[in-house]
Structure 1
């Protein structure tokens, strides 16, 4: 049983494969409690960083104390980590040690009382695109000279038009495409394993249909497999999306191309939807945010006095 658990861990989280068997087994038992592959992946990376740091200090994972967790937080911040990233890593650490306490492997959680760094709720460090840059990005995708030009055009629109998280798009299958009350739709798996239906605008659907038509068999039908595939038919991985985004951004002449990621396109989509006048609640649903405060961080015009609710109210009452 332990061997099978470790083998599965090594395949799903190679970042942990270099650890001793005991630490890997503890990590595997903890991570299996999370349904979301995204959460498991992020927490595995966070735990690996913590264990590497402890190893450099010569401290056993079961002998770590609060002072070590406090020092680790300071180490991360001094190294330039964002407060939000540090807070997330500390959350992973707290969850890991809580699991050990609950299973009688420790008497107390050394990370439970560690002070979290203050995170500005109105700030996001992600670099995005403005309207003209977004248009240039799509034009670069359409002009891509490579053999996967149709796929490139589809990927660019799926990320930029739908504001999808990269793992949501990477995990999508052809079977997830459908129709709903006259709309072309794609069903994706959100954070926490939630299934959500997103609309495919006509321009997005057209680019995707053109790409899928090139993959169809002799009968013109393609019923199964990953939505976005490699030349050999395998699933396009997240690294491919990163490379594609930066390559297209560079071709589009975007100065910040080396700082961009698939999440930059999600950031752009949400920001430009708000700039275009979409209602905050509609954009919250579009982005799949549980908390409207998360969506509000993307609203660049939230402090504009022209939008003050007092004007709307007095006009309504007049």
Structure 2
């Protein structure tokens, strides 16, 4: 493919210089590669031939088959790519400076009410037991799932951050956990007694038993990972999402993903009187504007409660 050297250099720049997450690096590379392929099909062999009208034409082409949120990411990737080229004197001028990000529709993040969240967390130590299932393994999985759910809810961390936790990231004495967030930025987040009890159960009675069961069976377990799958390897995001879906189903609350627990934790902190900056620090948002979405959620919940109390208002 043409421009492969520029694409490889840009990928290394995202990873090694900017410290972007693996998901961002992968997505941006795919977006830029798609753009460069289209340019190649149009006969463009020199990126200096690319101008703003060319970029807008590409955006119009992509908009036909992608949602606004996807187009916003693609636009960000292209702007980042050409900024990289200009900064490294690989092109004479940056044609993407005037490229505007497509306006996204405003929607409030999905959250559980206080009662729903309480009902969910009351059931976290219950996992479905299938007929003929290994009782010991079922007990191990119950301990693990309870610890993961409690920690997600207590800290508002992302599912990728949870999966990346190592044993050394926990500080039981201060009841805090060190989280590696987007851009490889570290933050320290506190957690409460329910999460502490669930983690103690997993670390004392679940994780050692799981390692013992998998260590002699030819499987290579990850001795550093906090949470493990049934084969002893670091747990994956898909597994965690399924755990959350199953827990919501058992508690008979709206079906949610791990990110909804993050939204719920943030909203309840604000409802409890937390400062917006404190919530920003806990969630690891680089921009306060991102955190401000949760104030809108809190206001909307207040409106709903008001309408229930005053139906004629």
Q: TM-score, normalised by structure 2?
A: 0.74
Aligned to 1:308: none
Query: What secondary structure does 2:294 align onto?
Result: coil
8 Å contact kept, 1:90–1:111: no
Match of 1:138 among 104, 121, 134: 121
Change in Cα spacing, 1:142 to 1:71, as seen in structure 2 (3 Å) is farther
Which residue number corresponds to residue 233 of structure 2?
Answer: 234
Query: Number of aligned pairs?
Result: 276
Aligned to 2:27: 45
**1:100–1:267 distance in 2 versus 1, CA, 3 Å:** same
Instruction: Write the deviation string for residues 242-289 of structure 1: whole angstroms up to 9, x where unpaired.
Output: 22222322333334x2xx332121111101221233233332322223
1:99 lines up with 2:95 in the alignment: no
SS in 1 for 2:179: strand
The C-alpha deviation readout for 1:204-226, integer Å capped at 9, x for no partner, is: 01101101112237xx9xx9511
Query: Normalising to structure 1: TM-score of the pair?
Result: 0.73
The match for 1:187 is 178
Aligned to 2:11: 28
Question: Secondary structure of the residue that 1:196 maps to in structure 2?
Answer: strand
The answer for unaligned runs of 5 or more in structure 1 is 1-17, 306-318
Displacement after TM superposition at 1:159 (Å): 1.0
Taking a change above 3 Å as real, the CA distance of residues 278 and 101 of structure 1, as seen in their structure-2 partners, is: closer
**Partner residue, 1:81:** 67
Give how far 1:164 is off: 0.3
Matched, 1:196 2:149: no
**8 Å CA contact 1:165, 1:266 repeated in 2:** yes
**For 1:183 and 1:142, how far apart are their aligned partners in 2?**
24
Corresponding residue for 2:55?
69
What is the match of residue 174 of structure 1?
A: 167
Tell me the distance in 1 between the aligned counterparts of 2:103 and 2:269: 28
- Which of 207, 213, 218 is residue 215 of structure 1 equivalent to? 207
1:225-251 deviation digits (Å, cap 9, x = unpaired): 111111232211222222222232233
Matched, 1:128 2:111: yes
Partner of 2:306: none
Tell whether the 8 Å contact from 1:27 to 1:44 is kept in structure 2 after alignment.
Answer: no
Structure 2 residue runs of 5 or longer lacking an equivalent are 130-137, 213-221, 304-313
Q: CA deviation at 1:156?
A: 0.9
Please tell me whether the aligned partners of residues 124 and 297 of structure 1 are also in contact (alpha carbons under 8 angstroms): no
CA RMSD of aligned residues (A): 3.4
Is the CA contact (8 Å cut-off) linking 1:35 and 1:193 kept in structure 2? Answer: no
Q: 1:225 maps to what in 2?
A: 224
